[in-house]
Amino acid sequence: MSNSTGGGIAELGTCEWPPLAVADSRVHELLLRQERQERTTLKLIASENFASSAVLEATGSIFTNKYAEGYPGARYYAGNEIVDELENLAMDRLKALFGCEHANVQPYSGSPANQAVCRALLCPGDKMMGLTLPEGGHLTHGWAVNFSGTDYQRVPYGLHEKTHQIDHDSLRETAKRERPKLIWVGGTAYPRIFDYEAMAEIASEVNSYLVADIAHISGLVVAGVHPNPVGHCDVVTSTSHKSIRGPRGGFILSRNEDRYQALYHSKSKHNLAKRIDRAVFPLLQGGPHMNTIAALAVALHEAGNPSFRVYGQQIVNNARALAQALLERGYELVTGGTDNHMLILDLRERPLSGKAYAERLSQAGIITNFNMVPGDRRHPALTSGIRLGTPAVTSVGMREAEMLQIAAFIDLVCRQPDDSDVHARVRRDVADFCAAFDVPGISDR
């Protein structure tokens, strides 16, 4: 018979485990280094943000331990009464915030969400229409190296040659000629407002599903500073991080009924919402990450606070201020400015590639990503542009005045891209500049 001594319990692994600093000093050291980097650099990557301590707490919570294959009330594991409540809570909050009929919070991220929508609405070989990657679209909207470009026929649409904004007249002509079954509206590097009403008219004319990808702008939609695609689109997908400040995950919003069920799914017994749910599970995924769903529920609760609308408006104000400051310093911007949270520096007339400038800026504590621009002749691994975003710097409390200083930092580095002494000086100045602001999830712990 075994005894109940502490040593015996420890050997079985049932004692209280030590904290991270003791259990794994190497990972803890990397975590601290990342915290120092987050505190002392300017996070200008448009797809990044700072989650609150409450969101981080839920992400690392005991919900990590629970397996819950299936959906609330229809699980394949026992003991899911509590997580059923949790998932229903997250879905209800999504439906309330966006005004949609159905929500699925199980996608592991934005790309899996987009894949699930494609599998729910399309058959292999069907035509899919989306904005091309060099002009601001996303990999999953029909790019050649992605599943969306290998499993389906790609029908790309582009931007107006002069304005670099979506050319709805050209898009309509292409849609009428090609008759795609699905049209994507959304992108990863498009700094202007999406006209969902105009896109819905085109999709209706050709009997096409219209799907909005709002991964970048979901927080702006909730804040009321970007139009809501719900009501115009059949399906809406998003990540749960970026501007909405949640965990790394995804969600799908949709109508319950399928406008084209008789046309495309005459043998199907399932409505649109059920087809999407079945595409997520069991077709593409197994058990959902309940800790991520818990953190999403927290983020949605935070987004329902009136202060979130103030935050969303400030994101846009900051992006416009940063854009104007860079324009005044002689920089070219794709579309000439921005309506949302991002701006794209067009560096084709500059001596170095977008990647080279992004590397120099990073050395100076300014974190960006290199990005393709319309008409880019450089390889996607080099590019001729840089994408900048304001969600994260807005989360730490920066406003228009700080955007002017950030533009000055960027200009110092880009005007002297090979002067390491300048980069080192800017790095110190950036660290001092950031020290005046509290970082959510780090400073409040």
Residue tagged active-site, from 48, 69, 84, 429: 69
How far apart CA 269 and CA 250 sit, in angstroms, is 26
CA–CA separation, 142 vs 128, rounded Å? 7
Residue pair 242/48 in contact (Cβ under 8 Å)? The answer is yes
Which one from 59, 174, 239, 383 is the annotated catalytic residue?
Answer: 239
User: Is the link from the previous residue into 282 a cis peptide, with omega within 30 of 0?
Assistant: yes
Question: Where does residue 445 rank: exposed (0-12), middle (13-18), buried (19+ CB within 10 A)?
Answer: exposed
292 among known catalytic residues: no
Count Cα neighbours of 241 within 13 Å in the Cβ-side half-sphere. Answer: 19
Helix (H) / strand (E) element for 376: namely: none
pTM for this prediction: 0.94
Residues forming a β-bridge with 43: 367
Question: From first to last of its 445 residues, what are the pLDDT tens digits of the chain?
Answer: 444 444 444 565 556 789 999 999 999 999 999 999 999 999 999 999 999 999 999 999 999 999 999 999 999 999 999 999 999 999 999 999 999 999 999 999 999 999 999 999 999 999 999 999 989 999 999 999 999 999 999 999 999 999 999 999 999 999 999 999 999 999 999 999 999 999 999 999 999 999 999 999 999 999 999 999 999 999 999 999 999 999 999 999 999 999 888 787 655 667 999 999 999 999 999 999 999 999 999 999 999 999 999 999 999 999 999 999 999 999 999 999 999 999 999 999 999 999 999 999 999 999 999 999 999 999 999 999 999 999 999 999 999 999 999 999 999 999 999 999 999 999 999 999 999 999 999 876 6
Residue 42 lies in a domain: no
Instruction: Find all residues with CB under 8 Å of 65, minimum gap 6, and list them.
Output: none
Instruction: Answer yes or no: 67 catalytic.
Output: yes
**Structural domains in the chain (count):** 2
Instruction: State whether 108 and 212 are in the same domain.
Output: yes
Instruction: Reply yes or no on whether 213 is catalytic.
Output: yes
* Cβ-count burial 125-161 (b if 16+ within 10 Å, e if not): eebbbbbbbbbbbbbbbbbeebebbebbbbbbbbbee
Torsion of CA 371, 398, 222, 187, to 10 degrees: 0
Residue 310 DSSP SS3: helix
For residue 344, what is the domain's CATH number?
A: 3.90.1150.10
Q: Which two tokens stand for residue 151?
A: 């499993």
339 is catalytic: no
Q: Is 137 annotated as a binding residue?
A: yes
> Which member of 154, 192, 242, 255 is catalytic?
242
Range of the domain at 255: 62-303
Count how many Cα atoms sit within 13 Å of the Cα of residue 196 in the half-sphere of its side chain: 19
> Does the annotation place 138 within a ligand binding site?
yes
**Of residues 39, 95, 248, 274, which has the active-site annotation?**
248
**Residue 133 annotated as part of some ligand binding site:** yes
Distance CA 343, CA 333 (A): 7
Residues 205 and 254 in one domain: yes
Is residue 89 located within the same domain as residue 190? Answer: yes
Q: Strands 209-213 and 332-333: what pairing?
A: unpaired
Task: Out of 303, 319, 347, pick the residue that ends a domain.
Answer: 303
Is residue 21 in a domain?
A: no
398 and 323 housed in the same domain: yes
**Short-list 299, 303, 321, CA closest to 311:** 303
